[in-house]
Every structure is written in C-alpha cells, then in structure tokens.
Structure 1
Amino acid sequence: MLRVRSDPPHGDIFADGAGPRPILGARHAVAICIGIVIGAGVFRTPSLVAANSADAFVFAAAWIAGGLLSIVGALCYAELASAYPGVGGDYSYLKRAFGARVGFIYAWARLSVIQTGSIALLAFVFGDYLAEIVDIGPRGPVLFAAAIVILLTALNRAGARQGAGAQLWLMLLEVGGLLLITAAAFLLVPPAPASAVAAAPEGSALGLVMVFVLLTFGGWSETVYVTAELRGGRRRIAGVLVASLALVTLLYLLVNLAFLHALGLGGMAASDAVAADAMRLAMGDAGAVAISLIVAVAALSSANATVITGARTGHALGENTPALGWLGRWDGARGTPGNALLAQGAVALLLVVLGGLSRDGFAAAVEFTAPVFWLAMFGVGVALFVLRRREPGVDRPFRVPLYPLTPAIFCATSLYLLWSSIAYTGVSALAGVALLAVGAALSLFIRLSPNGSPSEKEFAR
C-alpha cells in the first residue's frame, strides 16, 4: 500500500485505480463551489436582509462581512482537506476527531434529509420556474422536479467528467445571468424614488441579517468532498475555496447594489421577489421570462453540484460501515460512487413525490435542517483544534493562518448561528433534534469500522 505524504507527481492517490482518482481540474472545483453557493437564495434573501438593515450601508456591508466570514471558515476546511483529502469531507473530519459514532450520526443526517432534501427542494425551484415558461398542466412543477432528479443522477452516474463538465457550463450560465440582472438594473432602471430609499418599518436586527446573508453563502464547504478527485488537491483546495468565495462575494455585492439602485431599501424589503421586480422594471414582461430562466439555471446548477458532493458522503459511509458496504463501492471505470448516487437519487425522488402531495409540509421538513447544519460546522471547527493536538505529525500542505484565532472566529460564528437558527425556527428545530436522535439510535445497532476507509488510511501515516 502506498504511503503518501504529499501529492505524487501526477496527483494520484490510489495507484491501483480502486478508488477516487484526481481527474478534475481547478476550474471544475470552482464551478462546483460557485454553483452550490449561488442557488435560489440570492433571489429571495435580499428582501429579508433589507427588511432588517438599518440603512443601505449596513445592507451592503453585511454582504461583504458574509463573504469574509465564509472565507475564514473556508481556510479552516482547507487545512483539514489538505491533511485528510478523502471523499468524506465533514463526515471524515468529525469521525476522526470524535469517533465513528458521531461521524455516523452526521452522515445519516446528510443522507436522510440534508443533501437529499436540498436536491429535492432545488428540483422544485427549477420545476416551478420552468413551469412559468413551459405550461404542461397543474402537475408540471412536480413532473419537472422528478425529471431533473432522474436526469442529474443519470448524468453523474455516467461519469465524473460528465457531471463536472456540465457543472462548469451551468456555472458560467448562472454567473452570466447574475451579470445580466446587474447590468439591466443599473442601465435600464432609473434610481429608486426617495420614498423607497428609507429602511423598512421592521428596523435593524443585525443578528438576523447575518443569518440570512450566511444562509445565502452556504454550501461552500461541500467543495472539500472532491479534494481527492482534484489534481493537486492537497495543495490547491485552499486557493479554490478562497477564489470561489471572493468571486461569489463580488457577484452578491454587485447584484444587491443593483437591486438597491432599482428598488431602494424599503422597496426591496416590501418585495417578495426582488430580482423579478427589478427585471420587470428594466424589461417589462420579457424581464419576467428572463428571470424565470435565470432562476431555473441557478437551481439546476446548485442541484447538480449537490448531487456530486452528496453522493461522496454515502460512499465514505459505506466504506466505514460493513452493513452499508454496497454504498462504498466505487466505479473505477466511470470515476463515480455509482451505488451512492443511485441511493441518493432514490431518496431525493421520494421526497419530490411527497413534496408534490404536501408542498408546505415538505418546505418545513427542509427548513429544520439549519440547526443541524450549523451544529456540524461548529463541530468541524472544534475538530481542527482536536486533530492539530492529537495528530501533530500528519502532513498538512496548508495550515490555516493566524491559528488559533481564525478557527476560533469560525467556531464562534457557527455557534452564534446555531443559536440564531434555533431561535428563528422555533419548534421546527425539534424535528432536527429528532433526526439526530434517530441516527444516534441506529448507530447503537450498526457495527462501525473504527479503522477508517482506504483513502483515510493512506493519509493517516
């Protein structure tokens, strides 16, 4: 067995081709990061941020702060990914730091609701907006959503290059759409009237502002799941994350300043669809069609990226759980976790069917994952401290700067947002606790491997 301390000449992790191989370029990883971050949120949360901002300066500064805090977290993840570059991501870091049982509980949450629920929700967003353009009847959104889950699963099952290649084009279309909105709002719409410039009556609530902003930045951590498949991944993952988030921050700032120009802070706060309202002012009915296409593409890009990264968790869990070993089989010919992709697609498709029967209930079921998400982020931040102390000899091609201050800021931010998300969701947060309890109960009856997966063992030495 190979004992790897740094990237081999060609970046290979497994010499025998039995597991993930570095076949993706930096542009593919950037496309995954940007695609998964810029989903449908940027078309909805700006109005919520505006409603809780004291003035335009606070509104704009919040988006810059969100980008900087996300980069702080990305630096912490980059160190862990460079030291332990398997396909398990958060799951591997939590398991390594706190034990196989904690890792299983988190992987269970990702597979049962977090990732599959995100795929289903994004598929519904795609279906809703495509149905605005192509009317095939009242069941159109559900049919479109189901079709896109099947299509994306099949595309990524066909090969890693096919899925990543499609992601690159989707990301370019998505970024182009945001730039189109920005240009149209600035160039075709006169500045908002003075009556719309003032803040909304709700006043300022900085904590809630940052919850919404960081929710819109969410998803960048998923990029570490392809570190093992990224050429030179151990050295390049930090640059990929920072560059991606810097670009996202710039795009978010530009598009939100464009909304502010067209609608004003009060106008944004009063709008349920700021992008649609801005495009309607700029282009009339044609603007409404354009925004539907842009949102559909954004949802599709985020859904495809989520399919790519989510299946890697299933693969890593299967490698470490004998009873779920079928999930851990890697298709060497296609370069994909084939069985994990099929299992993930089946659960997401089931959620689409259930969501079609009760859309309100489905949306609530997805919302309760926020506390689980921020709890995991806090856990990963703590894991960085634990693994630095416990495994000082592990090669770390990238070390987080200003340690321990940087991870301490990340942990404090995650803990605050965990508290805020529980306070904001109220009773719904109990559903997330129940989900974790089910995973904890299952972990008591399933035999877990304490030794780690083959890819983890390679970098443990």
Structure 2
Amino acid sequence: MENQENELKKSIGFFAGLATVMGTVIGAGVFFKASQVAQVTGSTSLAMTAWLVGGLISICAGLTGAELAAAIPETGGLTKYIQHTYGSFWGFLAGWAQAIIYFPANVAALAIIFGTQVANLFGLGNSTIVPIAIVCAITVTLINFMGAKAAGMLQSITLVIKLIPLALIVVVGLIHGGSNGVDFSLFPIQAGHHVGLWTGLGQGLLATMFAYDGWIHVGNIAGEMKNPSKDLPKAISIGIGLIMVVYLIVNAVFLMLLPLAGAHNAVIGNLNVASDASKVLFGGFGGKIVTIGILISVYGTINGYTMTGMRIPLAMAEEHKLPFSNLFGALTKNTKIPWFSGIVQLVIASIMMMTNAFDAITNMLIFVIWLFYCMAFAAVMILRKKEPELKRPYKVPGYPVIPIIALLGGLFILVNTLFTQFTLAAIGIVLTAIGIPFYYYLKGKYHFDAE
C-alpha cells in the first residue's frame, strides 16, 4: 500500500490486456445464449439483428469507457471512474456491488457451467457438479496467486485454445453451407409469430448483452499494465470488435445448420446448440470436441473474472473503504497479489455455488452493473465539461454521439429489466444498498475524503 513492497508489478502488456477483454467476454455466452436469443425473437433475421445491435452498443460502450480507463489508469477500473466523477459515496457503492456480489456471482455461475459440462462429458452424476465447480474455482485462484504474469499467460493461452473450436465451426460451417430444410434468412428483418418486433429485439438485446458483458473489467488491471494509456483503449476497442465478428459468424452457422424450432435439435430451447451443430459438421465425436472447447473457454472466463475481481477490494482497502482493510490490502511477498481479497472472493463464490439461484443472481447483477455502466458513460461527458484540462491520452471518437449511443443503450436495458424482471432488479438494488451503513461507519472511523 504505502511501502515499496506493496506496489503492484507492471507486468501486463497489450496482448495480455486484449486477452483479458476477449477472454472475459467470450465464455459461456456465445454457446448458451443462442437458444434464448432465438426463442425471444422467433426468427433468424431478428436474432442476427439482436447480436449485431448488441455488438454495436458494446463497441460504443467500450470506446466510451476506454476514455475513462486511459484518463484514470488506476487499479480498480469502474470503481475509480465513478469515484472520480461522482464522489466517494458512489465509488464505494460501485466497488461494493462488484467486490461482494458481481464478481463472486459470475465466478460461481461460470464454475457451475464448467462442472455441468465436465459431468456431461464423463457421464458423471449431478451430485458431482458443485464439487467440480468448487475445485475449478480453487485452481483458478491458485494460478492467480502465482502472479499477474501467470494469470495473464493463462488468459492468453486459453484465448488461443478457446478460439480453435469456434474457428472449426465457422470455417467448416461456412464451407458446409446450410442444411436441407433449414430456413435461414437475414432479410426482411421481422419477428416470429406472436412476437412483436420491438419487444423481440429488446428481449434479444438483453440476452446478447449478457454474452457481451465483461469488456470494462480490463480497466481493473490498469495499474499493472506496462503502458495503460496506449494499450488499454486498443485492447478494449479491438477486443469488442473481434468479439462481435465472432458472435455474428458463429450464430449464423448455428442458425444455418439447425432448424429454429420443431425438431429435437432445434435452436430454440436447446442449450446444446454448439454441440448439435458440431455433430452435423463432424459427426458424433464433434460434440465432445466442442464440449472440451467450451470447458477451456469457460475456464479462461473464470480466470478473467478472478484476476480482475480480486483487485476491486484491494483498491477500496487502500482508502480504508472496507472492513479489515489491512487484510484486503495485503499483497503476497513475491508475486504482489491481493491474497486475502482472492480468498474472500473464492469463499463467497463457493457459497453461491451451493445455492440453486445462479440464473436469478446473474440477471440481477446485469441490472446492477448496468446502473454503474450508465453512470460511467455519463461521466465521460461530465468530465469533459468539469475537467477539460484532464490528461486524456485517448478520446472517444465521434464525441458526443458514441457516448450518447452507449448511454441510451444502457438506459434501454435498465428500463426493460425494471418492466420485465422487477423483483430481481429490486433485490439487486437492496443488496447494493446494504453497503451504505458500512460506508458511513468507515467514513466516520477513517475520515476519508467524501467529495
């Protein structure tokens, strides 16, 4: 913290940063969200439109967030942007929501997916899913304890490996072409039967946004990047652009190979779309290949959330904004890793793994995090007026159009969630608000700046 021994090592380069963005985003979403997007849109044209619009909003969001990441290149990412713009109170709530709820829940949900895939691959019973998930999360945490370089290397390796099954599906799928009897069309853009165009697009966007989530969290490791002002904006913008291309092509292949509905291997209602599509392309063995690819993909995603998530409590502890700040701020002697933060994150995630509310928690957290995303988008415009002299190594192109698109997209997600999933949204707000008493207690004890 204050002494030299507790300074974070600057060991992360551009490719590791790019791998963190892509590795955190490309995980379970690309494999498991195709079914839901197809179900709520009811047509191939609207499903593909939802993936495209979701990607464009995410690119605008990434380009907007990158200005904050470059201007405020501090470990803590989103929390620091909110604090710098809106003050200590809102910065604390952003950090609280991420450290205590958001990151552990993502690790838990992804670990359960990992456990489920392992159980299916080896024909194990459902009782093995949670133990496998916990062991998975433990191994990822231990790798991170080896240092930021080791975690970044794992992120880079899993990024390359996870793209192999995706590349196979894309290349062979495009060569194979559509299957007989499959009606795939991009135009005219229309919803399925009994689905309204805007309703279908809105619900489809909600689903794709979960698949695109994770882009902003590379900002959490800005303090450990060799050249954050140059590498961080590139990592975010290039990473999201590549992700959108991957998502579009992969989903096009799925929709060209499999019927939308009415068959045992239809896309709608089928969580094994990737496996079924690979069986069409490669035969029965293809399903197992894709399952292994999914395992590697999810493992890399868990690593991304673990690596970035454990640094949120560290940033808060440096300002005495968590109970037991001396422990949360402690770093390992050689690798300079926040070990106590990592253990607490692992414990919370493990407790969540032992519940059955993963989908509900994940939906709730998407709502909570987008509250702060929207505050971040607005922060770019606020700081342009409030602090024009602030050093900005990178500025949002097309200002203010790009930030406005990002903000409108975020507000659409929040309003849509309030109308369609009010209870989950309310629970998310309450859990975030639980941090408020801790804030005022710690503020009174340590008298930190509340501006």
Q: TM-score, normalised by structure 2?
A: 0.89
In 2, the alpha carbon distance for the partners of 1:121 and 1:315 equals 23
1:146-225 alignment to 2 at 5 Å? 146-187=134-175, 190-194=178-182, 200-203=192-195, 204=197, 205-225=200-220
Question: Given the superposition, is the C-alpha separation of residues 127 and 403 from structure 1 closer, same or farther in structure 2, using an over 3 Å criterion?
Answer: same
CA contact (8 A) 1:321 1:449 kept: no
In 1, the alpha carbon distance for the partners of 2:3 and 2:326 equals 22
1:382-461 alignment to 2 at 5 Å? 382-447=378-443, 450-451=448-449
Q: Which runs of 5+ in 1 are unaligned?
A: 1-13, 453-461
In 1, the alpha carbon distance for the partners of 2:447 and 2:386 equals 20
CA contact (8 A) 2:6 2:330 kept: no
Number of the residue aligned with 2:221? 226
Deviation of 1:226 after TM superposition, in Å, equals 1.5
Deviation of 1:188 after TM superposition, in Å, equals 5.1
Question: Which residue identity is paired with 1:114?
Answer: Y
Question: Which residue identity is paired with 1:174?
Answer: K
Number of the residue aligned with 1:380? 376
57-66 vs 405-414, which moves further: 57-66
In 2, the alpha carbon distance for the partners of 1:335 and 1:418 equals 38
Number of the residue aligned with 1:288? 287
Residues 240-272 of structure 1: per-residue CA shift (max 9 Å, x gap): 111111111111111111112101444423534
1:141 aligns with 2:129: yes
Alignment length (residue pairs)? 434
In 2, the alpha carbon distance for the partners of 1:195 and 1:70 equals 29
Question: Given the superposition, is the C-alpha separation of residues 413 and 190 from structure 1 closer, same or farther in structure 2, using an over 3 Å criterion?
Answer: closer
Number of the residue aligned with 1:5? none
256-265 vs 217-226, which moves further: 256-265
1:293-442 alignment to 2 at 5 Å? 293-321=292-320, 323=323, 324-331=325-332, 333-352=334-353, 354-355=354-355, 359=356, 361-442=357-438
Deviation of 1:186 after TM superposition, in Å, equals 3.7
Number of the residue aligned with 1:457? none
Q: TM-score, normalised by structure 1?
A: 0.88
1:368 alignment partner, SS class: helix
Deviation of 1:43 after TM superposition, in Å, equals 1.4
Deviation of 1:194 after TM superposition, in Å, equals 4.8
Question: Given the superposition, is the C-alpha separation of residues 284 and 139 from structure 1 closer, same or farther in structure 2, using an over 3 Å criterion?
Answer: same
Residues 386-419 of structure 1: per-residue CA shift (max 9 Å, x gap): 3233322221111112222221221111111111
Question: Given the superposition, is the C-alpha separation of residues 417 and 194 from structure 1 closer, same or farther in structure 2, using an over 3 Å criterion?
Answer: same
CA contact (8 A) 1:85 1:228 kept: yes
1:77 aligns with 2:78: no
Deviation of 1:368 after TM superposition, in Å, equals 1.6
Residues 96-118 of structure 1: per-residue CA shift (max 9 Å, x gap): 21121211122111122210010
CA contact (8 A) 2:260 2:268 kept: yes
Number of the residue aligned with 1:95? 83
Deviation of 1:167 after TM superposition, in Å, equals 1.0
Question: Which residue identity is paired with 1:171?
Answer: L
Deviation of 1:316 after TM superposition, in Å, equals 0.5
In 2, the alpha carbon distance for the partners of 1:199 and 1:83 equals 42
1:30 aligned to 6, 9, 18, which one? Answer: 18
Question: Given the superposition, is the C-alpha separation of residues 407 and 196 from structure 1 closer, same or farther in structure 2, using an over 3 Å criterion?
Answer: closer
Deviation of 1:72 after TM superposition, in Å, equals 0.9
Q: Which runs of 5+ in 2 are unaligned?
A: none
